[in-house]
Amino acid sequence: MLDFQQKRKVRSFMYSRITLVVISILVLVVMHSTWRVYEKKRTSEELKNISIQYTEELRTRSEELEVKINRLDTVPGKEEEIRSRFNVVKDNENMVVIVPDVEDSVATSTVSESFWSKIKAYFSRN
């Protein structure tokens, strides 16, 4: 009989309103903390992915620079770079420079409008 009474006391304590409120508050606090940790994890994963992407971009850029450096270590590579940056030729070489016609560019850029066409254009805009 004593066991039955003890069980009854325990049940009455466990199902009391105060106990249920305290347990509910504890559960809410734990849920809130868990949610904050989950959000931090999600943010850190996004930042990790961005960092991985930047790392890959830097690796490809590094590889491109290595190729350019290796090309510049050779004599033909240096010569090609100098020729592309500066307008130079070797001895006993000739250079041909093609100059565009000046008349064509001047003729197309000088279009004159008459006085009446300017007035007509002004009033057609408004």
Residue 45: Cβ within 10 Å count: 10
Alpha-carbon distances of 24 from 13, 15, 33, 82, rounded to whole Å: 15, 12, 14, 77
CA distance 51 to 67: 24
What amino acid is encoded at 86 in this protein? F
Give the pLDDT confidence of 51-64 residue by residue, as tens digits: 999 999 999 999 99
Residue spans per domain, the chain:
16-76
Residue 18: Cβ within 10 Å count: 8
Q: Residue 84 carries which DSSP code?
A: H
What amino acid is encoded at 116 in this protein? W
Flag whether pLDDT at 105 surpasses 60: no
pTM of the model: 0.47
